Amino acid sequence: MRIELPENVNKIIHQLQANGFEAYAVGGCVRDSLLGRIPQDWDITTSATPEQVKSLFARTIDTGIEHGTVTVMLDHTGYEVTTYRIDGEYEDARHPKEVTFTGNLIEDLKRRDFTINAMAYNDEQGLVDAFSGIEDLEDQVIRCVGNPLDRFGEDALRMLRAVRFAAQLGFSIEEETRAGITALAGTIQKVSAERIQVELVKLLVSAHPEELRTAWELGLTAVFLPEFDEMMKTPQNTKHHMYPVGEHTLKALQEIPRDKVLRLTMLFHDVAKPICRTTDEAGCDHFRGHPEKGVDMTKDILRRLKFDNDTIHKVCVLVRYHDDRPPITPVKIRQAVSRIGLENFPQLFLVKRADTLAQSLYEREAKLAYIEDYRRLYEEILEKGWCVRKQDMAINGKDLIALGMAPGKELGEELDRLFTHVLAVPEHNTKEKLLQLAHK
Ligand code: ATP
Ligand code: MG
């Protein structure tokens, strides 16, 4: 089996070998190469100690010296070179208490999470596959290296990583590994929110975001995202829907491009439906107020998972307006775009479309046609350069002061009045016209 290593990776490996050390490309890059996928980054594992690695290369960065990792810089690209190591006992299913360096490659491969991630390669020795990673790649299964209960006991995050790799690769999780997750799912509570966030985002933006269902089946979302379990329990007896809220959400995730903000929006757009649900005399469900309530819940959840404010803000705006349906007239749409914020388009159309495609077929054509009409009027705003933001008006406060108005509240109200007029009659957004209107 031959893998085409990048020139710089070979340079690093050969430099280490020329000085009497062993060195291999390892982990995700070997797995991805064998699958014909393009590796994100190339990790190298070596028998040399961090100090020895540093002495052999001109430019290095101490990335995680205590864990054995040195970043070697070549042509402005960093390559992580890590010394063969054995992870000591893990404290609280979180941190290894200590790491021990070893001269034995197999010992290093043994500490890795899954068989498909535990292979090493260089041109001289070829593929080192001590745990049947190749077989599992061919069978498309995620299987722990060794006993799943032990491995998840050492680091509970591996349970969510198993689901994430299944989602990225379209693989299934092997039976014993699944059973191990079911048994230990509760312990994911010990893992930091930051580490969970990384895996959740990778799962969501993967080719199979609906694998979140597996995280639910195995009992993981019950711990870090109990709101999703509530969605899975909430039926939707309305002609607009054909699935419970949770299944609708999984379908909507599949209908939107693989972007972090968009996928998080679909995950949370209906998060408040379980608490907003009412059933009328005819047996029909209603979810009044769920977008507004959904914003509060989304904000709480994203904060709990330690997302940054920019992401939280973008997702919340899209959740807030996912079900907002202004009448299709040029004026009403300019007002809507102004109210919602120009910067949230065209993403909002993708959200509305994905939501529609995850609903029942009832009035689907009309719903999609509505979105396209909305989009056409939005595009007209861009083409014609219509003003939909107050700061883009042809005049500002200074112009009104020059006309003799005093600074203060009334001046602000006059600008608001003129802006309302501009949204209604966009051709009037010229300095001349607005100053003339302001005189009145
Ligand atoms: P990608 O970079 O595409 O997300 P990857 O497999 O490279 O996938 P990383 O998180 O970058 O994943 O980790 C690199 C390698 O380190 C893995 O392939 C695996 O061998 C090992 N590894 C990473 N995290 C763990 C962990 N929590 N427990 C055991 N081994 C791990
Ligand atoms: Mg990686």
Does 370 share its domain with 250?
yes
Query: Which residue's CA is the nearest one to ligand 1's atom 12?
Result: 28
What's CA 237's distance to the chain center, in Å?
A: 30
Measured from the alpha carbon of residue 26, the closest ligand is 1
CA distance 214 to 199: 14
Residue 122 shares a structural domain with residue 15: yes
The structural domain count of the chain equals: 4
Single out the residue of 337, 282, 341 nearest to residue 317, CA to CA.
Answer: 341
Q: What's the whole-number mean pLDDT along residues 39-65?
A: 96
Same domain (yes/no): 292, 330? yes
- The pLDDT assigned to 327 comes to 98
**242 within domain boundaries:** yes
Residue closest via CA to ligand 1's atom 10 equals: 28
Confidence at residue 45, expressed as pLDDT on a 0 to 100 scale: 98
Residue 159 within any structural domain of the chain: yes
Phi/psi of residue 7, nearest 5 degrees: -55, -45
Tell whether the model's pLDDT for residue 91 goes beyond 70: no
Paired sense of beta strands 141-142 and 172-173, if any: parallel
Asked if residue 395 and residue 377 are part of one domain, the reply reads no
| pLDDT over 80 at 433, yes or no | yes
For residues 339 and 287, membership in a common domain is answered with yes
Q: Do 201 and 86 share a structural domain?
A: no
Each residue of 265-280: pLDDT tens digit?
A: 999 999 999 999 999 9
- The encoded tokens of residue 343 equal 């910067």
Q: Which of these three, 130, 152, 179, is where a domain ends? A: 130
Let me know if residue 116 belongs to a domain: yes
Distance 29 CA to ligand 2 centre (A): 7
Please, which pLDDT band fits residue 87 given cuts at 50, 70 and 90? Answer: confident
Given a contact cutoff of 8 angstroms between Cβ atoms, the answer to whether 234 and 278 are in contact is no
pLDDT value at residue 90: 72
Q: pLDDT by residue (tens digit) across 153-183? A: 999 999 999 999 999 999 999 999 999 999 9
Give the Cα separation of 83 and 45 in Å (integer). 6
Q: Which domain holds residue 91?
A: 7-130
- Mean residue pLDDT of the chain comes to 96
Which helix (H) or strand (E) covers residue 69, if one does?
strand 69-74
Residue 94 has pLDDT above 70, yes or no: no
Q: In testing the pocket of ligand 1, which one of 113, 147, 192 has its CB within 8 Å of the most ligand atoms?
A: 113
Residue 236 scores a pLDDT above 90: yes
Assess whether pLDDT exceeds 70 at residue 85. Answer: yes
**146 and 70 within one domain:** no
Query: How many A from CA of 117 to the centre of ligand 2?
Result: 10
Among residues 185, 200, 223, the one where a domain terminates is 223
Beta strands in 264-338 (DSSP E): 278-279, 285-286
Compute the distance from residue 98 Cα to the ligand 1 centre, in Å: 18
SS3 label, residue 45: strand
Expressed in angstroms and rounded, the spacing between residue 158 Cα and the centre of ligand 1 is 9
Is the pLDDT assigned to residue 101 strictly greater than 80?
yes
- The band of 106, judged by pLDDT with boundaries at 50, 70 and 90, is very high
For the chain, the residue count is: 440
Mutational test site, ligand 1, from 26, 32, 112, max ligand atoms within 8 Å of CB: 112
The set of residues, in sequence order, having a beta carbon less than 8 Å from that of 438 and lying 6+ positions away, is 395, 400, 403, 405, 414, 418
Query: Does the pLDDT at position 299 exceed 70?
Result: yes
Q: Assign residue 55 the CATH number of its domain.
A: 3.30.460.10
Instruction: Say whether both 156 and 238 belong to one domain.
Output: no
Confidence band (pLDDT; 50, 70, 90) for 92?
low
Asked whether residue 135 is domain-assigned, the answer is no
Q: For the stretch 17-44, what's the b/e string if a residue is b when 16 or more beta carbons lie within 10 angstroms of its beta carbon?
A: beeebbbbbbbbbbbbbbeeeebeebbb
Query: Phi, psi (5° rounding) for residue 73?
Result: -95, 125
- Which letter, b or e, does each residue of 158-182 get, where b requires 16 or more Cβ atoms within 10 Å of its Cβ? bbbbbbbbbbbbebebbeebbebbe
Q: Please check whether residue 2 lies inside any domain of the structure.
A: no
Mean pLDDT computed over 300-308 = 98
Q: Which residues line ligand 1 (CB under 6 A)?
A: 27-28, 40, 43, 112-113, 117-118, 155, 157-158
pLDDT higher than threshold 70 for residue 93: no
Looking at the fold, whether 241 and 260 belong to one and the same domain comes out as yes
Q: Could you tell me if residue 198 is inside a domain?
A: yes
Please give the Cα distance from 372 to 250 (Å, whole number): 24
Give me the CATH number covering residue 189.
1.10.110.30
Express each pLDDT in 114-136 by its tens digit: 999 999 999 999 999 999 999 99
Type of residue numbered 38: I
Residue 250 belongs to a domain: yes
Q: Same structural domain for residues 286 and 241?
A: yes
| 432, pLDDT greater than 70 | yes
Separation of CA 413 and ligand 1 centre (Å): 57
CATH number for the domain spanning 299: value is 1.10.3210
Whether the CB-CB separation of 208 and 167 falls below 8 Å is answered with yes
Instruction: Kindly state whether residues 300 and 371 are assigned to the same domain.
Output: yes
Establish if 181 belongs to a structural domain.
Answer: yes
Shared domain for 268 and 355, answered yes or no, is: yes
β-pairing, 126-128 vs 120-122, is antiparallel
Q: To 10 degrees, the CA torsion angle through 225, 227, 228, 231?
A: 170
Give the residue from 202, 220, 221 showing the smallest Cα distance to 164.
202
Please identify, among 106, 130, 154, the residue that sits at the C-terminal boundary of a domain: 130
Nearest residue by C-alpha to atom 21 in ligand 1: 112
Backbone angles phi, psi at 170, to 5 degrees: 70, 30
Cα(246) to ligand 1 centroid in Å equals 29
The arithmetic mean of pLDDT across residues 416-434, rounded, is 97
Residue 440 in this model has a pLDDT that exceeds 70: no
Tell me the whole-structure pTM to 2 decimals: 0.95
349-403 pLDDT, tens per residue? 999 999 999 999 999 999 999 999 999 999 999 999 999 999 999 999 999 999 9
